[in-house]
Amino acid sequence: MDLTLTDEQRLLYDQISRFATDELNDPDGSAAGERAFPSARWQKAGEMRLQGLPVPEEYGGAGLDPLSTAIALEALGYGCRDGGLVFAICAHLLACVVPIWKHGTDEQREKVLPGMCNGSRIAVNGMTEPGTGSDAFGMKTHATKHGGGYVINGTKTFSSNGPIADLAVVYASTDRDKGYHGGITAFLIEKNTDGFRTGQVFQKMGLHSCPIGELVLDNVYVSESAVIGKVGAGAAIFAESMDWERACLVASHIGTIEWLLQHAVEYARTRKQSGQTISKFQAVSHRIVDIKVRLEAGRFLTYKAASGLNRPRTASMDASIAKLFVSESLVTSAIDTLRVFGGYGLMEDYGIERIVRDSIAGIIYSGTSDIQRNIIARWLGLL
């Protein structure tokens, strides 16, 4: 497999990493104010159509193929030091924009995609519930047929962008007997619909600028036109969006690991202890070499997974392999970089402690590492 970027892909990477570096960071690179959602930067990202990278231009997107989408997100992860903003963009794009683009009606696409792609609207994906995380399809949220539409009741949790979102992609059970196969339906719901509100808002470890909370649906009535795809097709729609999320979100991690590597090398070559640069200590150089090896292996797995998104046969396994390896690699590489920096690694000015905090969530969201192993085991015929 040839992983050489085309001239267009190289240009795309350079353009987005420069934009992210210049426009999406605090001038001093500090973590100050990191708890607030950066609305102005979200809108700037929208002007670059980062929220609509793979969406056809007729719906306001950038019309990129899946691999180029991953390369653009890698550049974003390299340039933008606000992991919360990168995650907010990815959650919106991969778990909300993608299912609407792929499965929405023409009317839904025309109505919501342009605003979702240009940064004027923020979306949330509601799948997880207080009692069902890894076992997502055991959900209690139910949509009951009523007149020409559905009445939906339930509570979703850990919904990224939930507290600030304008619209939601919500999964609900429409036939409890059918369960996963035909019993789950995806709905597109405007946040200002009667009975739909934000519940508890959580303060979490890392990714601070991406707010997260509950979505409460209390007798929310939607017409049939709110169904995304077919009634009962929700599980397949969710699974496909998770393939996109797993393959492309970790592309942003690859960009972050590249940033960590560059900073670890630079620091090790200048910091002196015992009369020599710390790069001469094998304990330090080998630690940095391990970051490089993870970066190269992770990039290969990510590009392979992203290239395969249009080939559904093995897309899920490749996406899970990439997600498992890269999310774990980001945690290890962030902590390894912190070790290279010694005490300075813990100081906010260096930006590394923030990446350590931001990285941990990656081994939980989009399915924990245990769940990725389960998916891969299933593909191997072990379960």
Ligand X SMILES: Cc1cc2nc3c(=O)[nH]c(=O)nc-3n(C[C@H](O)[C@H](O)[C@H](O)COP(=O)(O)OP(=O)(O)OC[C@H]3O[C@@H](n4cnc5c(N)ncnc54)[C@H](O)[C@@H]3O)c2cc1C
- Residue 180, judged by CB atoms within 10 A of its CB (0-12, 13-18, 19+), counts as middle
Closest to ligand X by CB, 163 or 304: 163
Phi, psi of 170 (to 5 degrees): -115, 135
Tokens of 244: 């996109």
Find the part of the chain contacting ligand X (CB under 6 A) among 111-119, 121-129, 176-184, 257-265. Answer: 121-129
Cβ–Cβ < 8 Å for 298, 325 = yes
Is 367 among the residues that bind ligand X (CB under 6 A)? yes
Is 164 among the residues that bind ligand X (CB under 6 A)? no
Using CB under 6 A, which residues numbered 185 to 244 contact ligand X? 207, 212
From the CB of 207, what's the least distance to ligand X, in Å? 6
Q: What is the DSSP letter of 3?
A: -
How many helices (H) does the chain have, and how many strands (E)? 11, 10
Query: How far is the C-alpha of 312 from the C-alpha of 290, rounded, in Å?
Result: 32
Is 173 among the residues that bind ligand X (CB under 6 A)? no
The binder of ligand X chosen from 6, 202, 370, 377 (CB under 6 A): 370
The dihedral over CA atoms of 296, 305, 165, 102, expressed in degrees to the nearest 10, equals: 150
The number of residues that bind ligand X (CB under 6 A) is 20
CA distances from 170 to 66, 110, 157, 238, 261 (A): 24, 19, 11, 10, 38
Q: Is position 245 annotated as part of the catalytic site? A: yes
Is 329 among the residues that bind ligand X (CB under 6 A)? no
Cβ–Cβ < 8 Å for 42, 88 = yes
From the CB of 266, what's the least distance to ligand X, in Å? 30
Is 184 among the residues that bind ligand X (CB under 6 A)? no
Nearest residue by C-beta to ligand X? Answer: 133
Is 126 among the residues that bind ligand X (CB under 6 A)? yes
Is 158 among the residues that bind ligand X (CB under 6 A)? yes
Is 134 among the residues that bind ligand X (CB under 6 A)? yes
* Per annotation, catalytic residue among 240, 245, 258, 353: 245
Q: Footprint of ligand X on this chain (CB under 6 A)? A: 91, 125-128, 133-134, 158-160, 207, 212, 361, 364-365, 367-368, 370-371, 374
Active site residues: 245
